Structure 1
Amino acid sequence: MNRWVEAARPRTLPLAIASTILGNILAYVNGHFNWLIASLAILTTLSLQILSNFANDLGDTQNGIDNSNRKVALRAVQTGAISPAEMKKAVYLSAIISFLTGLTLLYFSLQHASLAIILTFLALGVMAIAAAIAYTVGKRPYGYIGLGDLSVFIFFGLVGTVGVYFLQTLEFKISTILPAAGCGFMSVAVLNLNNLRDLENDKKQGKHSIPVRIGKKAGFLYQKFLYILTILSFGLFPMVNTGTPPTFLQSSTMLAAYIPIALLANKLHDKLSPAQIDPFLKKTALITLWLILVFGFTQIFLSE
């Protein structure tokens, strides 16, 4: 059991549910909230993240990315703790579970929606499952050509937040794109740290992640730029949403989330070794969840 728990990468799960929690918070603030829909959305997101982690473990080993040169954050298939055949079965099972939980979510949330909307969300669900697998599995995984950042931004930012908001409210509100984008930027930041940690090995094995393409120094500048975009996205939301600037109390409370991001960014530089970079993945993921919770507090309790 321990090997499967480790392969599921528990430290990635707080980040996975961040966008789902954010979408539910935005729906609650707008007077729409259903606990069953919220719970099913979180369960579906967790299933997709675990599917992605299993597929990543399998694909990176099969394609030679995870090899004997990898010394930090060793993977289950790479080390032989789980065989490729076992992991392949786990990928299939996780995909089925993700599909079933997603289907259940759509059943309870879209009972009064049009057929076009139902088919749209069904297509998004299938695309999310396909994206989780195709990131590293197959002959032409899109994660190896630098498209992982875009996929993470879309699914762990925009779709996760705006999609859950719609499932709760059955309406689209353009202002929700801002915090959704902020959550997406933080998710990309975690992926970029992962790619910065693995840069040298990825370069040798032909995986062209963003840091491999632009270099380590520029990769850390990109990381800090993502943090800046996150703060701007959340900071601008109150004005776009209500047409008025955030209150002093809202702004000062949000500093409790912005300051940890700034302190984290200040510690990141291109002299860090892979082993030194690795802990920042968990820190960024947890800070993302903290950011969502602080934002939710300001919207629920400190709005005029």
Structure 2
Amino acid sequence: MTLLKAWMISLRLRTLPLALSTIFMGSIVAAWQGVFRTEILVWAALTTLFLQILSNLANDYGDAVSGADGVDRLGPQRMIQSGVISLKQMKRAVGLCALLALVAGLRLLHLAFEGALLQALLFLGLGLAAIAAAIRYTVGSSPYGYRGLGDAYVFVFFGLLGVAGTYYLHGESWDWKVLLPAASIGFFSAGVLNLNNLRDEESDRKANKITLIVRRGRQWGNWYHLGLLSAGWLAFASYAWLSGQPTRFWPVIFALPFFMRSVLQPFHNYRPGGLDKELRNLSLSTLLFVALSALVLFLS
């Protein structure tokens, strides 16, 4: 395997549609409110892509150091585990991605809050917290991803803060109802993580990586997955209802069958390795959900 291919695998490109869904949803809600700005979408997307790649690389590094990436691990091969990429190289890549995320984030804040220092500093603090959280997920003396807190991290940063923060950056205005579509994306993102943890239950248990699935068991995880996706749809339905024109959101219904399939897969797929492709499918289903939400702009 070439070094270039090894790095492409480590970037985990299939996770990027899910990260972009966060920015797109926040931008779509801003467009519904008439405050959309193209430059905010572009730089928010770049910042999020760097943060997602940072999280992916830091996860590889942390799992390699802790021993979670053993020979019996399911899913895509990790490049440190295979010996193609060294720990030192991966650590440098993590630092580079953190720097790129910071630079892109600073440019985003400059565009959004030129002259508004207090708001810029507040969002800078949130951005630095996101960078730290991405690294601390599996890196450090007590990574929270090894203590069953990964789901909460994903819900907050890829849901509430990601969507609602993007919405605010567009127009510097606030509407509490935006937390409902933000929660939808947060629940769907946590669903992707849950599928990952269902797949890796055995290897995580051996490595003492205490995810919610390791703590509660696979059967609980199957019902938890149902709960996450159901909660995501319920949150969005509540937003549609509170908008006063719920029928205009009808295009989103076309994404529902794909989520129903994702709900059923853990119950019927008893081979953990068989869940690997469902991570990609749910990520793409979430992106489809967001794309169909954008159609509301043209049909209302």
The TM-score bracket by the shorter chain reads: over 0.9
Asked if 1:90 corresponds to 2:99, the answer is: no
Corresponding residue of 1:184: 186
Corresponding residue of 2:283: 285
Corresponding residue of 1:77: 80
Corresponding residue of 1:302: 299
Corresponding residue of 2:173: 171
Specify the SS of the correspondent of 1:68. coil
Q: CA–CA distance in 2 between the matches of 1:269 and 1:200? A: 17
Specify the SS of the correspondent of 2:246. coil
1:279 positional shift:
0.6
Q: CA–CA distance in 2 between the matches of 1:203 and 1:108? A: 45
Q: CA–CA distance in 2 between the matches of 1:100 and 1:50? A: 15
Corresponding residue of 1:4: 7
1:302 positional shift:
2.7
Q: CA–CA distance in 2 between the matches of 1:176 and 1:293? A: 17
Q: TM-score, normalised by structure 1?
A: 0.95
1:239 positional shift:
1.9
Q: CA–CA distance in 2 between the matches of 1:72 and 1:194? A: 9
Given that residues 216 and 270 in structure 1 are in contact (C-alpha distance below 8 angstroms), is that contact kept between their aligned partners in structure 2? no
Instruction: Give matches, 1:187-226, under 5 Å.
Output: 187-226=189-228
Q: CA–CA distance in 2 between the matches of 1:234 and 1:141? A: 32
1:81 positional shift:
1.5
1:217 positional shift:
0.5
Q: TM-score, normalised by structure 2?
A: 0.96
Corresponding residue of 1:259: 257
1:22 positional shift:
0.5
Given that residues 20 and 160 in structure 1 are in contact (C-alpha distance below 8 angstroms), is that contact kept between their aligned partners in structure 2? yes
Q: CA–CA distance in 1 between the matches of 2:91 and 2:44? A: 25
Given that residues 15 and 288 in structure 1 are in contact (C-alpha distance below 8 angstroms), is that contact kept between their aligned partners in structure 2? yes
Specify the SS of the correspondent of 1:137. coil
Deviations 1:166-223 (A, max 9, x none): 0001011101000000000000000011111000111111111011111000001100
Corresponding residue of 1:227: 229
Corresponding residue of 2:249: 250
1:274 positional shift:
2.0
Q: CA RMSD in A?
A: 1.2
Corresponding residue of 1:159: 161
Deviations 1:210-255 (A, max 9, x none): 1111100000110011110111111111222x3x2512x533x222
Q: CA–CA distance in 2 between the matches of 1:196 and 1:235? A: 28
Q: CA–CA distance in 2 between the matches of 1:250 and 1:181? A: 17
Given that residues 217 and 270 in structure 1 are in contact (C-alpha distance below 8 angstroms), is that contact kept between their aligned partners in structure 2? no
**Structure 2, unaligned stretches of length 5 or more?**
none
Specify the SS of the correspondent of 1:21. helix
Asked if 1:15 corresponds to 2:14, the answer is: no
**Structure 1, unaligned stretches of length 5 or more?**
none
1:104 positional shift:
0.7
Moved beyond 3 Å, runs of 4+: none
Q: CA–CA distance in 1 between the matches of 2:233 and 2:269? A: 25
1:270 positional shift:
6.5
Q: CA–CA distance in 2 between the matches of 1:203 and 1:224? A: 23
Q: CA–CA distance in 2 between the matches of 1:71 and 1:160? A: 29
Q: CA–CA distance in 2 between the matches of 1:224 and 1:268? A: 9
1:151 positional shift:
0.5
1:112 positional shift:
4.3
Q: Which amino acid aligns with 1:287?
A: S
Corresponding residue of 2:70: 67
Q: Percent identity?
A: 41
Q: CA–CA distance in 1 between the matches of 2:270 and 2:69? A: 21
Given that residues 269 and 275 in structure 2 are in contact (C-alpha distance below 8 angstroms), is that contact kept between their aligned partners in structure 1? no
Corresponding residue of 1:104: 107
Q: CA–CA distance in 2 between the matches of 1:292 and 1:171? A: 21
Given that residues 72 and 274 in structure 1 are in contact (C-alpha distance below 8 angstroms), is that contact kept between their aligned partners in structure 2? no
